[in-house]
A and B are shown apart, each in its own frame.
Chain A
């Protein structure tokens, strides 16, 4: 079901990641202001964009679950959110490392972008206890979907916070005028964004394959034990 097209997707992900890393270290010029430390940007920003996009995608899948009642959409939504939480953790850690190297602090509390991302991340950490505190699978899926939709609507606030940020400590990357990135840096950034998006899709599919197979094995075990009981 989910394994269709997985191998070419995984191969494309590996190639795009290798290409992106080669562009980062051998093609993109050193930043005039930050120097070599700016290389963190190529991993931190795509990871943040993909994590936020993944949370929104989780909300859209949750809408599909509530509309259709098909529990496979709930599973897709759960995996999307789960994967984005992992990337979100990566964003916070790489961001802290970058902040330490360029601002001299591990964390800056008066920076709206950082704090709003942390708020969104913590919001999604609540998803797990909410989901797994409900035993009935139907209710679990429904409540988790409502949470995913509400939280997914909150995510764009993080993007708006970037635009509204008064102190320009945190750099703007994407704007309608094309941002301030020179051509080589822009190309490298887009390659990293593509690679990160492909990585997210590949891992999402991989976890779905594992979950689907696990469910099938459980169903098979149940059927076998039922047949055994009937035979006895």
Chain B
């Protein structure tokens, strides 16, 4: 197949890089949410321990 013109090729290239970026951002967001939950749990445990 002959090379695609830049405007058409750009859509495919952008699509591929967006897929990569989305995967990384979603992954980091999920791990970030997990860490935030752990921090909340830890704060609750500290409060409970202080209250005793």
What is A's interface to B at a CB cutoff of 8 Å?
31, 33-37, 39-40, 43-44, 47, 86-87, 89-90, 93-94, 97-98, 100-104, 199, 203, 206-207, 209-210, 213-214, 217, 220-221, 224
**Which of B27, B41, B48 is the one whose CB lies under 8 Å from A217?**
B41
Complex CA gap A90/B19 in Å reads 7
Q: Report chain B residues within 8 Å CB of A44.
A: 16
Number of B residues contacting the other chain (C-beta, 8 Å)? 26
- A219 to B: closest C-beta gap in Å: 11
Q: Report chain A residues within 8 Å CB of B35.
A: 209-210, 213
What is B's interface to A at a CB cutoff of 8 Å?
1, 3-4, 6, 9-10, 12-13, 15-17, 19-20, 23-24, 27-28, 31, 34-35, 38, 41-42, 45, 48-49
- The interface centre, meaning the residue of A86, A94, A199 with most chain B CB atoms within 10 A of its CB, is A94
A37 and B12 contacting across the interface, CB-CB below 8 Å: yes
Q: Report chain A residues within 8 Å CB of B24.
A: 199, 203
Having A47-B20, A101-B9, one finds 4 other A-B pairs with CB under 8 Å, namely A40-B16, A94-B19, A101-B12, A217-B38
Complex CA gap A211/B3 in Å reads 46
